[in-house]
Structure 1
Amino acid sequence: MGKPKGSGSVPNRPVYSRISYLYQAATYLASQSKGTTNDKDITQDKQALGSSRSEHGLSRRFITDLRSTSLKSQIRLSPSMKHTICKFCDSLLIEGETSSSSLENRSKGGKKPWAETLVVSCHACGGVKRFPLQAPRQKRQTCRAANSRKEKEKEKDQDLEAIEESRVVV
């Protein structure tokens, strides 16, 4: 017999730990400052620029490894993690540094305030991600299907009760 699983065990803990580490390392490298530009020495500026490019390249490599690890192990990334990763070039989206964001409302003249979307565009590849702001998140299809079946059953029951009541009255 195998060991009984504890109530607090997480399957694939090493894979989750690896994904978390890769994300933290990519975030750290992407957020590194580009170096001080107080000195007027051109060689230092070139070295600082080269090191920031290599740090962003290494950050992108970590994000690529993170995505491949999650795909191979069939583990879903959390939405907050997915929102900060460009799905086109695997760069980390940092507001003001590697991405820019704006509000957009494509409804008729912007009359519908619930139709506002946050548009995040990547500076590296020009990719655009859109996130609805005020709209409630739609439930998963299985939950929607189960709810619609329950509602149909309730409607049928109500219709049958109404028919039975009309027969009794007549």
Structure 2
Amino acid sequence: MGKSKEPGTILNRSIYSRISYLYQAAAYLGTLSQHTDPNSDTQNPETTGSKAALEGKQASRMRHANQVLSRRLVTDLRATSHKSQIRISPAMKQSICKYCDTLLIEGETSSSAVENKSKGGKKPWADVLVVKCHTCQGVKRFHVQAPRQKRRPIREKESNRRHEKGLNEQHGKETQGVAAVMGV
């Protein structure tokens, strides 16, 4: 016999904490690589061109190393969630490239555009956000402002109710018409 579940407790809290930490660390490293710019420091006017080029190469290596480390953390995050069979939140999942595990940062590691291929864009509910990863050229598509479809059993129940309601209204109109003809 197992332990009874207490109200307010979260099962696998440590795994959720680990996944959250890995995501935050990957996001930090991703944004850190974005803001590391060799020209941001005030440089001495006596600095030679070779020294500036060396600093530029070093900053480029640091950005690359941070991106690689960020991808590794995202890979660990996904492995942890798969092994423990815990679902990643949709917001977190949408910000990760499913092909190369790159954290999708707008303008830095990805680009996005809204696309509508419906009869010249006449259907506003057909808007699709297209996010393209710069690392692997992978494309992810997300519906914009599209209401989520209800599950099939719920849709079928609602459909049956509407059908029965329509039959009842139709039957009521028929009885009113017969009563009017009979003069009642």
TM range (shorter): 0.7 to 0.9
The match for 2:153 among 145, 155, 167 is 145
Q: Which amino acid aligns with 1:96?
A: G
Following TM superposition, by how much is the alpha carbon of 1:35 offset from its aligned partner in structure 2, in angstroms? 3.1
Residues 58-69 of structure 1 correspond to what in structure 2 (within 5 A)? 58-69=69-80
Residues 1-170 of structure 1 correspond to what in structure 2 (within 5 A)? 3-32=3-32, 33-38=35-40, 39=43, 41-139=52-150, 143-149=151-157, 151-152=159-160, 155=163, 159=167, 162=171
Query: What number of residue pairs does the alignment pair up?
Result: 165
Q: Alpha carbons of 1:102 and 1:157: their partners in 2 closer, same or farther (altered >3 Å)? A: closer
Q: Say what the alpha-carbon RMSD is for the aligned residues.
A: 2.5
Following TM superposition, by how much is the alpha carbon of 1:4 offset from its aligned partner in structure 2, in angstroms? 3.5
Following TM superposition, by how much is the alpha carbon of 1:151 offset from its aligned partner in structure 2, in angstroms? 3.7
**Greater relative contact order (Cα < 8 A, sep 6+):** 2
**Could you tell me how far apart the structure 2 residues matched to 1:150 and 1:101 are?**
37
Q: TM-score, normalised by structure 2?
A: 0.78
Query: What is the percentage of aligned positions where both structures have the same residue?
Result: 54
What SS does the aligned partner of 1:119 have? strand
Q: Alpha carbons of 1:102 and 1:153: their partners in 2 closer, same or farther (altered >3 Å)? A: closer
Following TM superposition, by how much is the alpha carbon of 1:3 offset from its aligned partner in structure 2, in angstroms? 4.6
**Could you tell me how far apart the structure 1 residues matched to 2:154 and 2:166 are?**
18
Question: Which has the larger displacement, 32-41 or 58-67?
Answer: 32-41
Q: TM-score, normalised by structure 1?
A: 0.84
**Could you tell me how far apart the structure 2 residues matched to 1:55 and 1:148 are?**
51
Following TM superposition, by how much is the alpha carbon of 1:36 offset from its aligned partner in structure 2, in angstroms? 2.6
Q: Alpha carbons of 1:150 and 1:101: their partners in 2 closer, same or farther (altered >3 Å)? A: closer
Q: Please say which structure displays the higher CA radius of gyration.
A: 2
